[in-house]
Amino acid sequence: MTITELAPAGRPLLVAAARVLPASVVLLLVGSVRRPSRPHGQDWWRTAALAVCNFGAFFPLLIVAVYRLPGGVAAAAGGLQPLLVAGLSVPLANRRPSPVELAVGAIAAVGVAMVVVRPGADIDPVGVLAAIAANVSFAAGVVLTKRWPSSSTGLTATGWQLLLGGALLLPLAIAVEGVPPVLTAANIAALTYLTLVATALAFLVWFSGIERLPAAAPPLLGLAAPVTGALLGWLVLGQSLTPLQLVGFAIALATIAYAAGSPFDRARSRSASPGPVARPGTTGPEHVLVGCR
């Protein structure tokens, strides 16, 4: 809602850059006060790869999808996250997902679709492709974040990712969309919320959580976002909830609760093939992330 109603219209790259760069400055400044650190050696290219997956590609694609699709259809694509993470774990992390993970991911996708997709929703092919590509990009970021734990603190590691992602997005925005327009008060308010709350704070919490949880859990926890969006539409905008949506709520919440429990840990230990093992996270975002989409 923030993007479609208050952000500058038709400027997905500008909105993405304006969301990412100020957030990077905030996190790096706070990190420099608490515990200065920066990537070293191979951490630089790993950070750059994660920046592209999590921000440089994900945000513009997501914003294109939000502009071109009804909110429910765009959010439903997020229901594919568990399956995408499971699928990408094979080539990117040499980790074979268990049948349980695949089954729960499929059930979760169905539950989210039941909640957010309404009959008669307009389906724009470009928007659908953008939504799917955005979720593929972010799923790759989840897998690689687990595989490549940062040697920096969570605060500065997130800040560096945001900075490198913004460094890619800003010149691209100017080249493709031209000189930024004069921002209205509503635009400024929207971008301030997006950068401080929906990006800096949200992704700091998100990446910290990824390091602590099994690889299958973060994308399932992220399903709370589209479900929360539908709930807020009911509470704030007076939108009705059908019996089908209520069933979808129950399914989505059940998969989220399952992801937070120990069964995934046991399934992973039984099914994981030999390969790189991520070190435990060194620090104590969103997808509240996507409630913030």
Q: Which of 27-31, 44-48, 289-293 has the lowest mean pLDDT?
A: 289-293
Residues 59, 175, 184, CA angle at the centre, nearest 5°? 65
> Residues 47-69: pLDDT tens digits?
999 999 988 898 888 888 877 77
Torsion-angle region of 213 (φ positive above 0: left; ψ -120 to 50: alpha; else: beta): beta
Give me Rg for the CA atoms of the chain. 18
**Using CA atoms, how far apart are residues 101 and 47, in angstroms rounded to an integer?**
28
Length of the chain: 293
Confidence of residue 279 (pLDDT cuts 50, 70, 90): very low
**Using CA atoms, how far apart are residues 263 and 226, in angstroms rounded to an integer?**
24
pTM over 0.85: no
Whole-number average pLDDT of the chain = 74
175 has pLDDT over 80: yes
> Residues 238-249: pLDDT tens digits?
666 678 777 877
> Residues 187-227: pLDDT tens digits?
888 888 888 888 888 877 766 766 666 655 666 666 666 66
The reported pLDDT for the residue numbered 50 is: 92
**Taking Cα atoms as reference points, which of 196, 194, 216 lies closest to residue 265?**
216
